[in-house]
Amino acid sequence: MFERSFSILNMRSSDDRTTIARIRDAAITEFANNGVAGTSVRTIATTAGVSPGLVIHHFGSKDELRVACDEYVAGIIREVKGTAMASGGAFDVTAAFRTVGEIPAAKYLARTLVDGSPHVAELVDEIVADAMKYVATGVETGMIKPTDYEWERAAILTIWSLGALVLHEHLERLVGVDITADFSQNPKAASTYMAPILEIYGQGLFTEKTVQLFREAFVSQQDDEKESA
């Protein structure tokens, strides 16, 4: 279903794609803030600066628009993490956060996972399949340690990550970091989250150079001192 929707978007003219992108981004924002059930086509149209009829003209229904949003957000994750793994030590960590920060992708994903849509299983399966590919690339470039459990590791890591997104408000309450925020301008603000993550993942997932890469970008001197104490 995702592939079909994406193909439809790519068959539009340049002008149509511009309009579709506005509608899609508006829908992602509204779905992230209010959920799919709590968001009307009229609200999306108002945010996008178009008529409700134009939303239906391009997407057919709110449900099909939601599928297109799912595919677009999955594509962002695929592109950012795939680029990270392919770049090895040359990867610009904060640039990836800037890319994700253009739309509330993390908040959208957190919200859509608990909405109960029949599309959620498809979305999760697609994210896991993508994870298999970019983790394998990470092994090839020396950023990720190899394993005998490639599929299982990708599935477990994906579910852990998605679970953290769903419970991000509790995570913020407990460790003081909103993981759905854009940290591109102030990466050290994520320090109290990233320092223990690197400690956990550094044992069995990340290679030492990857741990160092993220530590330099996101972990403050105070948290480094706390960890080594």
Q: Assign residue 169 the CATH number of its domain.
A: 1.10.357.10
Quick one: pLDDT at residue 224? Answer: 64
Supply the pLDDT for residue 74: 86
| Predicted pLDDT of residue 7 | 39
Backbone dihedral angles phi then psi of residue 90, each to the nearest 5 degrees: -85, 0
Q: Check residue 123 and give its pLDDT.
A: 87
Q: Which three-class secondary structure state does DSSP give residue 198?
A: helix
Facing residues of 96 across strands?
Answer: none
Enumerate the β-bridge partners of residue 144: 206
List the Cα angle 83/88/93 in 5-degree steps: 60
Q: Where are the alpha helices (DSSP H) in 60-167?
A: 62-87, 93-100, 105-113, 120-141, 150-166
Structural domain total, the chain? 1
Of the candidates 113, 37, 105, the one whose C-alpha atom is nearest the C-alpha of residue 72 is 105
Domain with 172 in it: 2-228
Q: Is the pTM of this model over 0.75?
A: no
pLDDT of residue 69: 93
Q: How many CB atoms lie within 10 A of CB 41?
A: 18
**pLDDT score for 48:** 93
Q: What pLDDT is recorded for position 210?
A: 87
Listed as ranges, residues in the chain with pLDDT below 50 are 1-15, 91, 93-94, 97
CA–CA dist 71, 74 (Å, integer): 5
Res 228: pLDDT: 59
CA distance 212 to 131: 22
Give the pLDDT of residue 174. Answer: 96
| pLDDT the model gives residue 44 | 97
User: CA 35, 41, 44 angle in degrees (round to 5)?
Assistant: 70
Residues contacting 103, CB < 8 A, separation 6+: 25, 28, 29, 76
* pLDDT the model gives residue 201: 85
